[in-house]
A and B are shown apart, each in its own frame.
Chain A
Amino acid sequence: MRKIIWPPHRWAECRRLAYRILAVAGIAVAPAWATGSELSREDIQWLDRVTYGPSTVTVDEYLKLGRRRFLDEQLHPKDVRLPQPAADQIAALDISHSAPADLLAAVYKEQQRINALPDETQKQTDRKALNDRGNKLAYEAARSEILHALYSPAQLQEQLTWFWLDHFSVFQYKANDAWLVGDYADHAIRSHALGHFRDLVMATLTHPAMLQYLDNAQNAAGHINENYARELMELHTLGVGSGYTQQDIQELARVLTGVGVNMAGNEPKLKPEWQRLYRHQGAFEFNPARHDFGAKTLLGQRIDGSGFDEVEKAVDVIVAQPACAQFVSRKLAIYFVSDNPPRSLTDRMAKTFQKTHGDIADVLETMFKSREFAASLGTKFKDPMHFVISTVRLAYDGKPIVNTHPVMNWLNALGEAPFGRQTPDGYPLTESGWASSGQISRRFEIARNIGSGNGGLFDPEDGTPATTSGFPQLSTRLYFSAVEPFLSGNARTALNHAGSQLEWNTFLLASPDFNYR
């Protein structure tokens, strides 16, 4: 990297001067808001919450539509197409061309072949090749998430996709999940992210990634595994301490017997009376031969043995609990409003949830239009995902990246890699989970790393030569209209002491101003 060291005070002056020249020279093409004060501090803080942070495209759209219509489009996105450069990258991924059932069947076949190999060394080599291939697909899934978060016009849907991926967390290194996380994100999560909560529960419940991750694929009559049943109530729907008992967990585990994964892709041979109860879709299957058909009592309601219908009924019972509305509303409010959201707000959100049978967009509308939300702007500490994505949106505004490895490395270093949470509770949503002394110093180091150069963001992943390059230019028009006017005195002082662009970038990205949304 080329390092230019300027005398600190001179350097800051040069920057200001350079910008003035730029501003004058570029006035004809500058967006209207770039020179005026059309955007208030509150506008920017509002955009920092509803989106992954301002970019020129987002700000233009916001000014064109006005806040009310902008929010409406975010809550009910019609156009979710990514801009061409990002869409092309996603279209070129292997995960965009393969059905998870086919992938699993191929993995299964390959695993059988490997297990039958006589030579131990060959076994290990082939197993490693298979794992590498799985990890490549999991990386593609993460790549797709990052590109969506950076460039989708449906910014709120993307935040919700991340939120639900974390709420219904799966881990790429469990069982064969590496092969499945891409499909899980696209089809179990993103397509329901602003829809009905019950659909999300069913979509995750019937997805092989979840069934493998929480061991329900192994849950069968006489071989009960209660792992998923417990987390389904504790982490996905009701919350611990909401009133269900160990007995309820055991009963739900019985309901879930036979809900599993068909790796090989062959339909099992079943007794005639079971054949009509067999269900499958892709690699998901409900196998009546593995199901406990005894009657169950869940949360006080009797569920008679009838096969997969029991699961539908159990989910109906669970999501209709007032505790579910409260639990989900509170979690959304923690993500979008405050580490400790006021009860007045979560009660109203829960009311909307119950009235609309869990319409997520409606619950969010209640939240975004509340005075509690307005009063909270600028006070949420960015988690690493928000930090990294908002940084790239600002630093490479209008210049789409073609390589997501650096972004993955930053997320990894900060401890929030997509599909990388081992435990099913998902990543922390509050400041205390991300702002310890060790995490802050790490974040500053990553800020420096991001500020020090593009780190390969513009080197195509297929190895073809880069057609463009770029240094993180944080002092863009976007910066001068969306960031600079609202900087705190402390941040200004630090920026004035910067001895190089690298330092200036580092201080800006490390500032309290930039680390809260």
Chain B
Amino acid sequence: MKRRNFLQMMAMAAPALTVTGRVFAAPPGSPRFLLVFLRGGYDCANVVIPYSSSYYYETRPNIAVPKPTGQSDDGAVVLDSNWALTPVLRPSIAPLFAQRQALFIPFAGTEDLSRSHFETQDSIELGQPLQGSHDLNSGFLSRLAGVVNGAQPIAFTDSLPVCFRGNSDVPNISLKGVAKPVFDARQASILSDMYAGHHLQPAVRDGLELRQEVSMVMEQEMKEANRDSITPKGFELEARRIGRLMREQYRIGFIDVGGWDTHVNEGSGQGALANNVDSLGKGLAALAQELGGEWRNTVVMVVSEFGRTFRENGNKGTDHGHGSVYWVLGGSINGGRVAGEQMKVERANLFQDRDYPVLNEYRGVLGGLFVSLWGLSSDQIQRVFPGSTPLDLNLV
């Protein structure tokens, strides 16, 4: 059944409806993609640590994450001869890496140089060429949903993110706190009819319908929670709900996570940044678990608008920088490695003598991933990322 028909069906006093009972346009086993946007510019150098760089330790006297020792069970986790994972990701992301279900792309990012959170987030989400005029009503995930068969896009956010702006109406719903829907079918249909012919009508219908759907998913969760005494909180709770919704229905998803703007006292292996990374890692591991068998058809990409200054600032924090480290996770990716073009992490290679350079431009990286995931034609990928050449990093 199409989402569109949901209200009509509700109005006919439909029998109990479950999300699993739907018929979907996409064939079973077709790919799922979730973009996780870390808003605020996460300090990648303290998460995926360039431990072979003496300059890293020299220039971060207060906040550098100690080198992996090779013996302790609580230090940084070696990824390869240059990179190590922050200790807090040991229980969550390190096992995925060991199973080749996680990889990292350092020196990734955009060529936008404003170093402004808002400008850079918007420009990444629009995914259009930096030069020339921009269509502010066209985000790249919306364009992707337009070329993928049975895309079923959704944003798990309070408001619709820029990357989903576009002509097709993409539903959004925050999964932080979800209560029972308050409108019955009759009321929902009166509310919806009130917007007949109005440009908000699709959003009104989507909103009313999605609330019903999600509450059914939550009912399942409640039942299971009664059996399982541990109730997840925060991002892990959201991630589990995302996993459930994407397992059952949605194929292209978006979530953002805030709190990464660490200008002051960010900490090293422990502290403010580490706590945030810990919760992110646990959430993503829970998502993988919740997706069950569909995890092998799923790719999760973690990005942020920019990296931060390679040196620590005067307040044991870091300021806005440039190149970042992206994460790619998924049940059948070519993981267990650090991918993409790299260079030695030393002072001479810093961009403008302060930041990581960008060697793996995000449109190329994502474009390459989308081409392999969905077998997009060059014409299709040009519609998603106009003027960009897909980079084949052999991610999946």
A interface residues, Cβ below 8 angstroms from B: 215, 218-220, 222-227, 230, 234-235, 240-241, 246, 415, 422-423, 425, 428, 432-442, 444-445, 448, 490-491, 493-494, 497, 503, 506-507, 510-512
Contacting residues, chain B, for A433 (C-beta < 8 A): 159
For the A-B complex with A215-B264, A218-B315 known, give 5 more contacts whose Cβ atoms are closer than 8 Å: A225-B319, A234-B116, A423-B258, A438-B174, A440-B204
Flag whether B341 is at the interface (Cβ < 8 A): no
What is the minimal beta-carbon distance from A445 to any residue of chain B, in angstroms? Answer: 5
Q: Are A434 and B203 in contact (CB under 8 A)?
A: no
Q: Which of B72-80, B192-200, B270-278 contacts A (4 or more CB under 8 A)?
A: B192-200
29 of the cross-chain contacts (CB-CB < 8 Å) are: A218-B315, A223-B313, A234-B116, A234-B119, A240-B116, A246-B115, A246-B352, A422-B258, A423-B39, A423-B40, A423-B258, A434-B159, A436-B155, A436-B160, A436-B203, A437-B169, A437-B171, A437-B172, A437-B206, A437-B207, A438-B171, A439-B158, A439-B172, A448-B182, A490-B196, A494-B191, A494-B194, A510-B194, A511-B194
What is the minimal beta-carbon distance from B255 to any residue of chain A, in angstroms? Answer: 13
Flag whether B190 is at the interface (Cβ < 8 A): yes
Q: Are B190 and A440 in contact (CB under 8 A)?
A: no
Q: Are A215 and B210 in contact (CB under 8 A)?
A: no
What is the minimal beta-carbon distance from B24 to any residue of chain A, in angstroms? Answer: 19
Given contacts A218-B315, A225-B319, A246-B115, contact A438 B159 (CB under 8 A): yes
Contacting residues, chain A, for B194 (C-beta < 8 A): 490-491, 493-494, 507, 510-512
Contacting residues, chain A, for B172 (C-beta < 8 A): 436-439
Q: Are B313 and A440 in contact (CB under 8 A)?
A: no
Q: Choose from A218, A220, A445, A448 the contact partner of B264 (Cβ within 8 Å).
A: A218
A230 to B115, CA, bound (A): 9
Among B40, B113, B264, B319, max chain A CB count under 10 A is at B319
Q: Choose from A218, A444, A490, A511 the contact partner of B183 (Cβ within 8 Å).
A: A444
Give me the 7 closest cross-chain CB pairs, A-B, nearest first: A223-B314, A441-B207, A436-B160, A437-B206, A437-B207, A438-B172, A438-B173
A415 to B174, CA, bound (A): 11
Contacting residues, chain A, for B363 (C-beta < 8 A): none
Contacting residues, chain B, for A442 (C-beta < 8 A): 207
What is the minimal beta-carbon distance from A159 to any residue of chain B, in angstroms? Answer: 22
A51 to B204, CA, bound (A): 27
Q: Are B319 and A226 in contact (CB under 8 A)?
A: yes
Q: In the complex, which residue of chain A has the Cβ closest to the Cβ of B200?
A: A435
Q: Are B313 and A225 in contact (CB under 8 A)?
A: yes
A223 to B312, CA, bound (A): 10
Q: Are B207 and A440 in contact (CB under 8 A)?
A: yes
What is the minimal beta-carbon distance from B208 to any residue of chain A, in angstroms? Answer: 6
Q: Are B320 and A230 in contact (CB under 8 A)?
A: yes
Among A224, A241, A436, max chain B CB count under 10 A is at A436
Flag whether B67 is at the interface (Cβ < 8 A): no
Q: Are A218 and B207 in contact (CB under 8 A)?
A: no
Q: Are A435 and B115 in contact (CB under 8 A)?
A: no
Q: Choose from A240, A444, A491, A510 the contact partner of B118 (Cβ within 8 Å).
A: A240
Q: In the complex, which residue of chain B has the Cβ closest to the Cβ of A235?
A: B118
Contacting residues, chain A, for B39 (C-beta < 8 A): 423
Q: Are B159 and A225 in contact (CB under 8 A)?
A: no
A227 to B116, CA, bound (A): 10
Q: In the complex, which residue of chain B has the Cβ closest to the Cβ of A508?
A: B194
A490 to B201, CA, bound (A): 12
Q: Choose from B158, B187, B320 the contact partner of A415 (Cβ within 8 Å).
A: B158
B interface residues, Cβ below 8 angstroms from A: 39-40, 113-119, 155, 157-160, 165, 169, 171-174, 182-183, 187, 190-191, 193-198, 200, 202-208, 210-211, 258-259, 261, 263-264, 313-315, 317, 319-320, 352
What is the minimal beta-carbon distance from B278 to any residue of chain A, in angstroms? Answer: 20
What is the minimal beta-carbon distance from B132 to any residue of chain A, in angstroms? Answer: 14
A293 to B341, CA, bound (A): 43
Contacting residues, chain B, for A224 (C-beta < 8 A): 313-314
Q: Are A440 and B210 in contact (CB under 8 A)?
A: no
Contacting residues, chain B, for A215 (C-beta < 8 A): 263-264, 315
A225 to B39, CA, bound (A): 20
A160 to B119, CA, bound (A): 25
Contacting residues, chain B, for A507 (C-beta < 8 A): 190-191, 194
A244 to B126, CA, bound (A): 23
What is the minimal beta-carbon distance from A11 to any residue of chain B, in angstroms? Answer: 14
Q: Choose from A441, A448, A490 the contact partner of B193 (Cβ within 8 Å).
A: A490
Among A240, A438, A442, max chain B CB count under 10 A is at A438
What is the minimal beta-carbon distance from A254 to any residue of chain B, in angstroms? Answer: 12
What is the minimal beta-carbon distance from B381 to any residue of chain A, in angstroms? Answer: 26
Q: Are B210 and A438 in contact (CB under 8 A)?
A: yes
What is the minimal beta-carbon distance from B241 to any residue of chain A, in angstroms? Answer: 14
What is the minimal beta-carbon distance from A117 to any residue of chain B, in angstroms? Answer: 21
What is the minimal beta-carbon distance from A255 to any residue of chain B, in angstroms? Answer: 16
Q: Choose from A241, A422, A428, A494 the contact partner of B159 (Cβ within 8 Å).
A: A428
A226 to B263, CA, bound (A): 9
A445 to B352, CA, bound (A): 51
Given contacts A220-B314, A438-B171, A440-B207, contact A494 B190 (CB under 8 A): yes
Q: Choose from B114, B157, B200 the contact partner of A241 (Cβ within 8 Å).
A: B114
Contacting residues, chain B, for A226 (C-beta < 8 A): 319-320
Contacting residues, chain B, for A497 (C-beta < 8 A): 190
A220 to B313, CA, bound (A): 11
Q: Are A441 and B210 in contact (CB under 8 A)?
A: yes
Q: In the complex, which residue of chain B has the Cβ closest to the Cβ of A214?
A: B263
Q: In the complex, which residue of chain A has the Cβ closest to the Cβ of B352?
A: A246
Given contacts A225-B315, A225-B319, A240-B119, contact A494 B193 (CB under 8 A): yes
Q: Are A512 and B195 in contact (CB under 8 A)?
A: yes
A99 to B120, CA, bound (A): 39
What is the minimal beta-carbon distance from A468 to any residue of chain B, in angstroms? Answer: 28
What is the minimal beta-carbon distance from B386 to any residue of chain A, in angstroms? Answer: 20
Contacting residues, chain B, for A491 (C-beta < 8 A): 194
A423 to B41, CA, bound (A): 12
Q: In the complex, which residue of chain B has the Cβ closest to the Cβ of A227?
A: B263
Q: In the complex, which residue of chain A has the Cβ closest to the Cβ of B189?
A: A497
A441 to B171, CA, bound (A): 11
Among B182, B183, B194, B320, max chain A CB count under 10 A is at B194
Given contacts A240-B114, A436-B172, contact A225 B190 (CB under 8 A): no
Among B40, B119, B159, B205, max chain A CB count under 10 A is at B159
Q: Are A415 and B314 in contact (CB under 8 A)?
A: no
Q: Are A444 and B191 in contact (CB under 8 A)?
A: yes
What is the minimal beta-carbon distance from B215 to any residue of chain A, in angstroms? Answer: 11
What is the minimal beta-carbon distance from B267 to any residue of chain A, in angstroms? Answer: 16
Contacting residues, chain B, for A222 (C-beta < 8 A): 314
Contacting residues, chain A, for B196 (C-beta < 8 A): 490
Contacting residues, chain B, for A428 (C-beta < 8 A): 159
Q: In the complex, which residue of chain A has the Cβ closest to the Cβ of B159?
A: A436
Given contacts A215-B315, A434-B159, A494-B194, contact A512 B200 (CB under 8 A): yes
A441 to B40, CA, bound (A): 28
Contacting residues, chain B, for A434 (C-beta < 8 A): 159
Contacting residues, chain A, for B203 (C-beta < 8 A): 435-437, 440
Contacting residues, chain A, for B263 (C-beta < 8 A): 215, 225, 227
Contacting residues, chain B, for A246 (C-beta < 8 A): 113, 115, 352
Contacting residues, chain B, for A511 (C-beta < 8 A): 194
A219 to B158, CA, bound (A): 34
Contacting residues, chain A, for B264 (C-beta < 8 A): 215, 218, 225
Contacting residues, chain A, for B158 (C-beta < 8 A): 415, 438-439
Q: Are A445 and B182 in contact (CB under 8 A)?
A: yes
Q: In the complex, which residue of chain B has the Cβ closest to the Cβ of A436?
A: B160
Q: In the complex, which residue of chain B has the Cβ closest to the Cβ of A228?
A: B263
Q: Are B198 and A512 in contact (CB under 8 A)?
A: yes
Q: Are A423 and B183 in contact (CB under 8 A)?
A: no
Contacting residues, chain A, for B171 (C-beta < 8 A): 437-438
Q: Are B116 and A440 in contact (CB under 8 A)?
A: no
Q: In the complex, which residue of chain A has the Cβ closest to the Cβ of B120?
A: A240
Contacting residues, chain A, for B197 (C-beta < 8 A): 490
Q: In the complex, which residue of chain A has the Cβ closest to the Cβ of B174?
A: A438
Q: Are B119 and A241 in contact (CB under 8 A)?
A: yes
Contacting residues, chain A, for B313 (C-beta < 8 A): 223-225
